[in-house]
A and B are shown apart, each in its own frame.
Chain A
Amino acid sequence: MLQLLIGTDIPFMKARRVAYLFSGALLLATLAWVLVNGGPKMSVDFAGGTLLQIQASRVLPVEDVRKTLDGLGLAGAEIQSTGGGDEFLLRFAKQGSADAFTRIRTALEARFPGTAVELRREETVGPKVGDELAGKAVWAILGSLLGILVYVGFRYEFKFAIGAVISLFHDVVIVFGILCFAGREMSLTVVAALLTLAGYSINDTIVVFDRIRERMKTLSKETHERAFDIAINETLSRTIITAFTVFLSSVALYFFGGEVINDFALAMVVGVVFGTYSSIYVASALALEMWNLYDRRRKPARARAA
């Protein structure tokens, strides 16, 4: 039998205050980034505008593409060269005229004779639709968090539920922050990834919580911290392995899934790692704090009664 991480006795809870600092720093950094940059970078899904992905039959210099666009009165477009120089992402802040691509193709093919230009993708979102989609995204995230909160609150006593929910927020916010740092745009797909994470990140937490609850009963003579540590160590192998299999799938998506779902895959990869970390160091650690707090309030009462 190949076994990893069995019979460990790592004092996880001892280091929890260091983890608070670490998590707190990441959360603050995310907040700071958002404040400094005036919010995340929005894709056309939410900001409105037009995104054109075009591919030429040969490598074209970005400068010439820019000049061609300027010549068409499409100045101010964001131009990004991808896929080895023959593919370009063109982003226009305003909804382009309906035939923008046709005009661009004609102009580029005239400027570079013998080159064929093909439309890979076009996304145009009017300002009204963009606002609507953004509103829907926010509601979906809030609704999803609330749904999970209700479920966890129903399943566990308050002492546990509060930690689970905070760890959920923690994961979603930190993954959001890392995407911002990495210069990724908020799009429908990224929101989908955040929602999936919200559902997934609670999984490890549940595995650990079930065992903690069990151990708090059977090990009532030990300190809370010790009981927590034993429960976490006992479930460590499954916490890591379940995260690892999803991690493998996500990494494959990240490297082979192509550019269209790359943001999604990145969010999942990062999210699985933080989801595992937060099961122990946010959800369980906060549950421990709640237990201790609860006891401190009960003990003086008992002392008085005596």
Chain B
Amino acid sequence: MNRSETWKLVSVVVATLVSIFYLFPSLRFYSVPFAERIAAPKDSPVAKLREKAIPLGLDLQGGLHLVMEVDRSRLSGTEADRAVDRAILVIRNRIDQFGVAEPLIQKQGLDRIVVQLPGLHDAQRAKDLIGQTALLEFNLVRTPEEAQFLFDRIDAFLAGRAAAGRLQVDSSLAQKPLTSHFMDAGPGYGFLLPADVPTVKRLLAEADSIIPPDSRLAWSTEDEGAGGRTGFSLYVLKNEPELTGESVASAFAQMNPSQPGKWEVSLRLTPRAAGRFAQVTNANVGRLLAIVLDQTVNSAPRINERIPGGTASISGRFTPEQAKDLAVVLEAGSLPAPVSIIEERTVGPSLGQDSIRNGLQAGLYGALAVVLFMLVYYRISGALAIAAMLLNVLYIMAWLAGFRATLTLPGIAGIALTVGMAVDANVLILERIREELRGGKTVRAAVATGYDRAFRTILDSNLTTLISAAFLFQFGTGPIRGFAVTLAVGLIANMFTAVLFTRMVYDFILHRRTLNKLSI
């Protein structure tokens, strides 16, 4: 064995051993049953294996891919700059508590956030959890007199506009366009039936300009009013909140002790906020304090006495999940600006499983057909080409595992195609060798010429496909990128396996004995 042969042999053996080393955790991880894999808790042996296994794309294991845009239009310069990073932090906090293995949260461009949650089952719940602004405020409700004063003022304003013919109002309600919709009025709010809400919202939009800056109107969530009818309350609140969500130290969902079966969210305030809360409640005994979540009044309990302990609770018609999720978002903090989902891709777990099965099946059948053809057509030389192709696939998989590059369904397609393309290089070489043999050359000379002449062609054809793969990677979203990666790695590995490896085997044999015939 000469030096160059030794060098080649060592490189092939090392590459193969390293590949097997990197692939071993993947083999072990994916032989664990699906349900167990998904449910594996952090720091368990299975979870440790996952960190070294080939990551599957969302299209294969199911999951949620979201692109969200942060609406920064209402923020000032420095706030706007920090808003996206702050939003990412908040979303990460929320997701951590939701408990998803390997979430990905990334900034994209100036004002976008990409969130990927693999293996997720309840996409709707996750979206609600992530997308909710969760701006929590505690606002004092205006006294009945103050509220009445504002309602009267709005009535007068609207009546005036109606009389001037600038507003369409039901004639029977023309004197009091707003308050005549009230079913009944409480201290600081009016109660309306759901059917009247759209009309009243339209009226209020007209009267927006006369609401003083120190007050604001806010709707409640749907609730039961006097007489057991459900509807919505319209509150007059002090604009400036007494406390905000930042003062929440911890939040948890619990069953209401006095009303079994009803869920509520208990809040524990930070020590500083607790002091302020005690002060506010002390100064406003007898008034209503509204708990406002995302501009909607969740509840407005009466302050019966000074509350010193720094605890509060939010009650409402929660399912256990809703209460739990609300606790999560309140504890994680509010988003600095509203976010909207501009792109969403969800793949259910069953489709992911089907895709894996289909992809593997297609790859396997394709490979079988290629193997059969190569064996029949090129016999032992064909078998060598197949060995090279198998090494090629091994290297691609090992590369994915080693660099933690994601395997996607198009990625599997890329591997399947690579199988076809990988043997192409050997076909070029073998055809060239056959041609030289027909020309009367000895086996050894034919092999040498065949490799030399075919090499340039193989390099050319692989390079052009690599150019395309590079553009694919630039352009692609997740699954497509997976394809570009497997294709590119496959082509590079191809130069190694189809050219260097097979040549080494021929040289190894031909240096030892002179063949008169080659099985080709």
Contact = CB atoms under 8 A, between A and B. Distances in A.
B451 to A, nearest CB: 15
22 contacts: A98-B131, A101-B123, A120-B347, A122-B346, A124-B343, A125-B343, A140-B472, A143-B474, A189-B410, A192-B472, A196-B472, A200-B465, A200-B468, A238-B428, A242-B427, A249-B417, A249-B419, A249-B420, A252-B366, A257-B359, A258-B362, A260-B358
B423 A196 contact: no
Given A2-B377, A256-B362, A192 B483 contact: yes
Contact of A196 (B367, B417, B419, B461): B417
Contacts of B345: 121-124
Nearest to A144: B471
Contact of B365 (A188, A189, A210, A252): A252
Interface of B: 59, 67, 123-124, 127-128, 131, 341-348, 350-351, 354-355, 358-359, 361-363, 365-367, 369-370, 373-374, 376-377, 409-410, 413, 416-417, 419-421, 423-424, 427-428, 431, 434-435, 438, 456-457, 460-461, 463-472, 474-477, 479-480, 483-484, 487, 520
A252 B418 CA distance: 13
Contacts of A122: 123, 344-346
Given A140-B471, A260-B355, A246 B420 contact: yes
B365 A155 contact: no
A245 B475 contact: no
Given A199-B465, A244-B373, A245-B370, A136 B475 contact: yes
A109 B359 CA distance: 32
Nearest to B377: A2
B464 A203 contact: yes
Contact of A256 (B131, B365, B461): B365
> Chain A interface secondary structure, helix, strand, loop or mixed?
helix
B461 A192 contact: no
A86 to B, nearest CB: 12
A99 B127 CA distance: 9
A128 B342 contact: yes
Nearest to B359: A257
A252 B483 contact: no
A284 B461 CA distance: 16
B464 A247 contact: no
A278 interface: no
A264 B423 CA distance: 21
A124 B461 contact: no
Contacts of B410: 189, 192, 261, 264
A207 interface: yes
Task: Please indicate which of the listed interface residues B374, B461, B470 has the most CB atoms of chain A within 10 Å of its own CB.
Answer: B461
A6 B432 CA distance: 12
Contact of A252 (B127, B355, B416): B416
A121 B420 contact: no
A210 B123 contact: no
Given A1-B434, A257-B359, A119 B471 contact: no
Contacts of A238: 427-428, 431
A167 interface: no
Nearest to A152: B464
B396 to A, nearest CB: 14
B377 A241 contact: yes
A119 B457 contact: no
Contacts of B479: 188-189
Interface string A242-275: 1011111111110111101100110010000000
Given A199-B468, A242-B427, A257-B362, A126 B342 contact: yes
A245 B413 contact: no
Contact of A206 (B59, B127, B423, B464): B464
Nearest to B478: A188
A249 B431 CA distance: 21
A75 B362 CA distance: 38
Nearest to A189: B410
Contacts of A101: 123-124
A8 interface: no
A249 B467 contact: no
Contacts of A118: 348, 350
A244 B373 CA distance: 10
A80 interface: no
B342 A265 contact: no
A148 interface: yes
Contacts of B347: 120-121
A39 interface: no
A264 B409 CA distance: 11
Nearest to A241: B427
B291 to A, nearest CB: 24
Interface string A217-258: 000000000000000001001100110111111111101111
Given A122-B123, A203-B465, A147 B351 contact: no
Nearest 3 interchain pairs by C-beta: A199-B468, A252-B366, A258-B358
Given A53-B351, A203-B461, A237-B431, A151 B467 contact: yes
B24 to A, nearest CB: 27
A112 interface: no
Nearest to A100: B124
A98 B341 contact: yes
A177 B354 CA distance: 30
Contact of B366 (A2, A6, A151, A248): A248
Given A192-B480, A196-B468, A196-B472, A129 B124 contact: no
Contacts of B460: 155, 206, 210
B471 A143 contact: yes
A147 B467 CA distance: 7
Contacts of B424: 203, 242, 245-246
Contacts of A13: none
Task: Please indicate which of the listed interface residues B363, B421, B424 has the most CB atoms of chain A within 10 Å of its own CB.
Answer: B424
Interface string A1-28: 1111010000000000000000000000
A58 B416 CA distance: 34
Contacts of A199: 464-469
B413 A264 contact: yes
A253 B370 CA distance: 13
Nearest to A52: B346
A121 B464 contact: no
Given A151-B463, A245-B373, A265 B413 contact: yes
B366 A120 contact: no
Given A144-B468, A203-B461, A124 B480 contact: no
A192 B476 CA distance: 8
A256 B435 CA distance: 37
B457 A249 contact: no
A258 B347 CA distance: 14
A55 B367 CA distance: 31
A195 interface: yes
Given A118-B348, A124-B344, A192-B410, A246 B421 contact: yes
